[in-house]
Structure 1
Amino acid sequence: MLTRYKLVIFGLITCIAGCHTTTNAFDPESRSFTLKNVNIVDVKAGAILPGQNVCVVDSIITQVSKNSCPRNDLTEIDGKGGYLTPGLIDMHVHTFEKEGLMFTLSHGVTHVRLMNGVSAQLKWRDDAEAGTMLSSTATVSSPIISGYEGAVLHHGLSSAEDARKAVTKYHAQGYDLIKAYNNLNPQAFLALMEESRKLGIPVAKDGPDVPTSFDIADFNDVQSFEHVENIFYVALDRKMNIENLAPFIEKAKATGVPITPTVNIFDQLTRLSVEKEAFVNQLPQHYISSIVKMEDKRNQVKRWLETTEQNANYNQQVFNFLLVMTKALHDADIPLLIGTDSGNLLSPHGLATHNEMRLFSDAGIDSFSILKAATYNAAKALNLEKQIGQIKERFYADFILSDHDPTKDLQQLKMPKAVAKRGVWLNQGDLEQLRSKAKDSKSLWSELRVYSEMLTR
C-alpha cells in the first residue's frame, strides 16, 4: 500500500501541476448494422447456433435468426462464418486510470466490476454508459470497507454505527455495491449487512470465510464471494486435502452465492516468485499503472521476487491446489465467475481475463462452462441478465467476433477479429488503435489525482 505521506506529496504535486484529464470522446458513425453469416455461441444452453444473422439498431439487438433483417437500410457486415460470443465480463478489477477500461475492451471484455471505488470511477462509468467514452462499461463498488483503521486504500471502521454510516454514504454517492472485507468485527459486519439490505444495495464479500459468530448461510444474499485462496486459508486451514472441502461446498452451495476464484492473481504471484525478473520483463509494461509499478516493486512484487526457493515451491503447490479446488466448486454446481484482480501485482487489464479463463481450462473445466462464467453468470450476479451476457433480442449489442470456434480454443477471444460495444463496431484495426490510444493517453498526474481522493474518505 502507498503510505499516507506519499499520497499527500502526490496530491500536492498534482494540484500544483494543475493537470487536466483529457476527454476520451468519440463519435461513432452508427450504432446500427446487420451482421450476416455468423455462428452464435449460446453460453446459457451450451450450444452453437449456425448460420445466424444479427440485426442491431441503436445499440440494441433487434433480431437473431437465419432470416434477413427486416430493415434494408442498415450497413451490412459479412461475418464470413465466424463465431459470435457475448462480450466478456471481468468481475474483479482494480484500476485508478480510465485507460484500464480501454485496454479491457480492446480484448473483448465489454463490462467490468471495479472493486475499490473512487468518485472518478463513477464518472468513467457514467461516461461509458452515455457513450462519451469508448471503453468497457462498469459496475463500481464502494471503497473497500474493512477493519484496517487508518489504511489509505480502505475505509477502515470498527463500530456498527460507523458501518451503517459508511453504507448510507456510499449508497447516496451512487456506488453500485458495497465491497466488504472479512476482518470487520461481527457487530460492524452485521450492521453493514442490515443497512445494505435496508437500502437495497448489494454486497460483495472478500472471501467466503466468515466471522466466528456467523455462519456462511448468514450471507446468502450477497452478490458474490471473492478469492478461492481464502477458502484454502480458512475452511481448509491451509491443508491441501480436497476431501476436507466437502463440508464447505455443502454450505456454500446452499447459499446460491457465486464465487469468483481469481486464480489469475495467485498465478501472478507464483510466477513472480518462481520465474523472478524474467516474468516481469515479459509483461506488457504499458498496460500497468505507473503508480502500481513504482509501489509494487518496493512492496508486493519485491516480496515475491526476493522470496526463497522454498517459498516459491510452496506457492506453486498452493496454486496447483487452488485449481483443484476451483474444479471441485464447479463440479458441485456452485456458480463461478471470471474475475482477475487485475491491476494488482502488475497483472495487465484485459489480458488477465483471458489468463483466468485459461486457468479454468487448465483446471479441467469445459469451455462452455468457462464462457458461461464469463458472461451469463456474471450478468446474473449483477442483475443485468436481461441486458448483457447473451446474444438475444432486446439485449445490448456487446459481443466478440472470432474466426474460429472459441469453445475449441478460448484464446481465440484474446485478440478478436472484431468487438461490438453497445452497437459500436470495432474491427481489428480499431481495437489496435484503442490500445494505442490507451497507451498514449496514460498520465501519471491524472492517476495521482484519483489516488489522492483516498486521503479524504
Structure 2
Amino acid sequence: MRTFNTMISLTILVFFLSTGLKAQELLVKNVHILTLDDTSVKKDQTIHIKDGLIIDFYPKSNIPVGLRELVSIDGMGGYVFPGLAEMHSHIPTTDTNDFSYIEDVMWLYLANGILNVRGMIGHPSHLELKKRIEIGEITGPRIFAAGPSLNGSSVESPEIGAKMVKEQHQAGFDHLKLHPGLDMPRFLAIANTAKEVGIKFGGHVSLDVGLENSLNNGYHSVEHIDGYIEALIVDKSRLDPQIAGPFSMLLVQEADLSKLPQLVQLTLDTKAWIAPTLTLFERFFGYIPADEFRLEEDMKYMPGIQVQQWVNQKKLLENQGVLKEENVKPYLEFRQMLLKTLYDADVPILLSSDSPQVFNVPGFSIHNEIKSMHDAGMRPLDILRSGSRNVARYFDQEGDFGVLEKNASADFVLLRGNPLEDLNQLRNISGVMLRGQWINQEKLQSELNRIEKKNIRK
C-alpha cells in the first residue's frame, strides 16, 4: 500500500513539475535557506507551503509524520532566498487584447529570479496585466503599477495636475511617476493631492522644483539618483541642458561636495528611497559604443526593431560627441560615489535597472545592476535586501512578501550556490516559487527558448 501511495505521489510530482501547476499544499525539501536577516545559512531545511503561503520550516530529519506524503520538490542542496525585483520597469503596453509581448517580458523577469516589478511608465493595460496575473490568467511577477507620466506637457495647470492624481488613484494605480518640466505650482498641486488621497509618488526631479523641494514635499523615491548633481551646482545658470548635457553629466567637476552631507541628511529625514539604475547610465550614456552592446547575448530575447531603436538612440548621442570617455567616465564614477555615500548613511535602496530600456534587457539587466551596485561598494546582503524585503517595506507590506517567514507569501528562488558568497550564483536558477506555484528550470528555459526563436533576426 505504501509503495502504491509513493507511486501516486511521484506521478503527481512529475505532472506538477512539468506543467508548473499550482499545488494546494507541498513541501520543498533538502534546501539551505537564506533569510537575509544576516549572512547566516539555515542548513538542510524543508519548507511547508499551503494555499500560496509559507506555513512552516522543518529540519530535514524532523518533518512531521502527517506531512510526509505531500507532493514534494527535492531542492538537491540548493540555496533558497526571497528573490529579486525590478523597481524601475517600463512594462510594455497594449491597446488591444494582445498581451503576448508583455507576457514575454514577464517570463524574462521570472527566468532571472525577479518576483516583483514596479512599472514606472503607466498605461491602463498595466492594471489589466496586474489583474490577469493575480487571477492566474498570466504567469508573472507581482506588479505594482505607476500611472501615466505627470510632466510639464501632460500637466497643463495645477488644477489638471490635481485632477490627474485623483483619477489615477481612483483607477487603481499604486504609484505616481513624475517626469521633468514641472514648475512649483503644478508640482505642489500633484504632491499635495497625492498626500491627500494617499498614493506614493516620485520619479525624476524637475529643474524648476529641485531636489530639496521634491524631498520636502513628499517624494517617496528618487529615480536615477536624479537631482543630486543639480543641487550641488552653485551657478544654476550652468544647468542649461545645452551646457550641462544629459542629466548634467558634464558638470560633475563643478559640484560643491561640501553640500552633499546636508542633502544626504535631508534624504534620510524625509524617508525617501533611492532607485539607482546605475546600469542604464553605464549602457545608454556610457562610452562603450552601441555597436558593442547590440552584439551582447541577451539582445537575442528582444525584437530586432527594438534593439535597432536602442542603437539609434545611443548613436545620436555618440555622433554629437557627448559620450566621449573623458566626459562620461567621471560622471559614472560620480554616480557610484553618490550611491555609496547614500548607502553608507542608511538611505534605503531599491533594486532597479530601468528595463526594457536602451540595452537593458528585462531580467538580465538586473544582474548588470547588481554588479554595478557591488562595484560601488554595497554588500551582497544589502543588495539582495534591496530586491526583496525593501520592496515590501516601500509599499508598507513588510512581512507579506520578500521574506522567508511563516505566513508570508510563498515567493522564493532556488539557486545552485550561495549568492552571499558569489553574486554570480544569482544566474544559476533551479526554479522559482511564485505565490505557491513552482516553476522549474526546464520551464523557465523553454520560455527563454521560445522567446529567442520568436525574435530570430530574418
Count of residues paired in the alignment: 408
Name the residue aligned to 2:281.
266
Q: Deviation per CA, 1:4-44: give whole Å up to 9, x if none.
A: xxxxxxxxxxxxxxxxxxxxxx8715253211222211223
Q: Is the 8 A contact 2:290 2:314 kept in 1?
A: no
- The separation in 2 between residues aligned to 1:34 and 1:292, in whole angstroms, is 42
Name the residue aligned to 2:34.
41
Given the two structures, how large is their TM-score scaled by the length of structure 1?
A: 0.82
Change beyond 3 A, Cα 1:163–1:309? closer
From 302, 311, 317, the counterpart of 1:288: 302
Q: Is the 8 A contact 1:83 1:404 kept in 2?
A: yes
The alpha-carbon deviation at position 441 of structure 1 amounts to 6.3
Gaps of 5+ in 2: 1-18, 93-100, 235-250
Secondary structure of the 1:334 match is: coil
Letter in 2 for 1:257: A
The alpha-carbon deviation at position 372 of structure 1 amounts to 0.8
- The separation in 1 between residues aligned to 2:295 and 2:180, in whole angstroms, is 35
Q: Deviation per CA, 1:328-368: give whole Å up to 9, x if none.
A: 11101111111111111131000111111111111111110
Secondary structure of the 2:356 match is: coil
Secondary structure of the 2:148 match is: coil
Q: Is the 8 A contact 1:209 1:235 kept in 2?
A: no
The alpha-carbon deviation at position 54 of structure 1 amounts to 0.7
5 Å-filtered alignment, 1:215-254, equals 215-220=213-218, 222-236=219-233, 238-240=251-253, 243-254=258-269
- The separation in 2 between residues aligned to 1:423 and 1:310, in whole angstroms, is 46
- The separation in 1 between residues aligned to 2:441 and 2:121, in whole angstroms, is 31
Q: Is the 8 A contact 1:223 1:382 kept in 2?
A: no
Q: Deviation per CA, 1:99-133: give whole Å up to 9, x if none.
A: 21211011100110010111111111111111221
Note if 1:357 corresponds to 2:353.
no
Note if 1:80 corresponds to 2:76.
yes
Q: Is the 8 A contact 1:208 1:226 kept in 2?
A: no
Aligned CA RMSD, in angstroms, stands at 2.5
- Identical aligned residues as a percent: 24
- The separation in 1 between residues aligned to 2:208 and 2:131, in whole angstroms, is 34
Secondary structure of the 1:405 match is: coil
Name the residue aligned to 1:18.
none
Gaps of 5+ in 1: 1-25, 150-155, 444-457
Moved more, 197-206 or 320-329: 197-206
Name the residue aligned to 2:409.
396
Letter in 1 for 2:110: L
Moved more, 286-295 or 116-125: 286-295
The alpha-carbon deviation at position 422 of structure 1 amounts to 1.3
The alpha-carbon deviation at position 312 of structure 1 amounts to 3.2
Name the residue aligned to 1:139.
144
Q: Is the 8 A contact 2:181 2:206 kept in 1?
A: no
- The separation in 1 between residues aligned to 2:273 and 2:170, in whole angstroms, is 26
The alpha-carbon deviation at position 320 of structure 1 amounts to 1.8
- The separation in 2 between residues aligned to 1:164 and 1:289, in whole angstroms, is 38
Q: Is the 8 A contact 2:298 2:364 kept in 1?
A: no
Name the residue aligned to 2:195.
197
Change beyond 3 A, Cα 1:387–1:440? farther
The alpha-carbon deviation at position 208 of structure 1 amounts to 9.1
Moved more, 116-125 or 178-187: 178-187
Change beyond 3 A, Cα 1:213–1:56? closer
Q: Deviation per CA, 1:69-99: give whole Å up to 9, x if none.
A: 5523421222232211102111101121412
Q: Is the 8 A contact 1:43 1:375 kept in 2?
A: no
Q: Is the 8 A contact 1:88 1:374 kept in 2?
A: yes
Change beyond 3 A, Cα 1:236–1:109? farther
Note if 1:277 corresponds to 2:291.
yes
- The separation in 2 between residues aligned to 1:328 and 1:52, in whole angstroms, is 38
Change beyond 3 A, Cα 1:144–1:368? same
Name the residue aligned to 2:174.
176
The structure showing larger relative contact order (alpha-carbon pairs under 8 Å, at least 6 residues apart) is 1
